[in-house]
Structure 1
């Protein structure tokens, strides 16, 4: 499990909640650090904040998807989940969204679902997230 967020407190909050549930967690402070770590860590799931210095979460997701070695990894955006973030996240190939602030149980359920199913075909939405589907009408 790789947790990517520029806020140290949020990284630690996510890490502790997942470690309490038995997940092994490595953290990164931004997208550049994520891309440096991903091949050494070989995570089952990556959570990404959107607004980060150097390389944001949406750009990071796009780069992860374009690399054959990481294109299959389940990606979850853990952020404000504005309509912009959801639309661009879906376009970048993000699998799930969890809106901040979130309940620790929601985070654990989302990560478990992504680990168990592998990369889902339909993105999940967290409480407060915009609709991830693109249906018109």
Structure 2
């Protein structure tokens, strides 16, 4: 399964890219996720997120809405149109959170939040993402079989 899910280490909860313009919030989220075993990278706005996402290859991205240069919602739009990032679960962590997630967002967590709630949500989204990848890898419709073999 590790080969089907780049960056995944068996037994590790996953990788999270935390995007927020507040250094205090970034550090709060980072510390809580790291205490639960996640590997965490941070970015201060959507532009930094788009630069980092292809190198870090996160399992989940948390995003603030109001950020300089490129806000959270515009970042969501750019992540969703890129085939390499379209399936990464996205969580809006925002003081301006709406009733439900806007299009392209998997979950919304209102600030202030309970750290345990954030960690549980990220853990669930990582697990669901892995299950989706495993199901796709095992699906006969996505399997391209050939009668010939290729030498390594």
Same structural fold, with TM-score higher than 0.5 when normalized by the shorter chain: yes
Q: Report if aligned partners of 1:6, 1:30 keep a CA contact under 8 Å in 2.
A: yes
- RMSD of Structure 2 on Structure 1 (CA): 1.7
- Return the match for 1:90 from 96, 102, 115: 102
Residue number in structure 2 paired with 1:7: 22
Provide the TM-score with structure 2 as the length reference: 0.73
Q: Structure 1 residue runs of 4+, over 3 Å off? A: none
Residue number in structure 1 paired with 2:90: 75
Distance in structure 2 (CA, Å) of the matches to 1:33 and 1:42: 14
5+ residue gaps, structure 1: 120-137
Distance in structure 1 (CA, Å) of the matches to 2:94 and 2:85: 21
5+ residue gaps, structure 2: 1-15, 131-152
Distance in structure 2 (CA, Å) of the matches to 1:68 and 1:103: 32
Q: Report if aligned partners of 2:97, 2:108 keep a CA contact under 8 Å in 1.
A: no
Q: Report if aligned partners of 1:48, 1:75 keep a CA contact under 8 Å in 2.
A: yes
Provide the TM-score with structure 1 as the length reference: 0.80
Aligned pairs (5 A) from 1:28-43 = 28-43=43-58
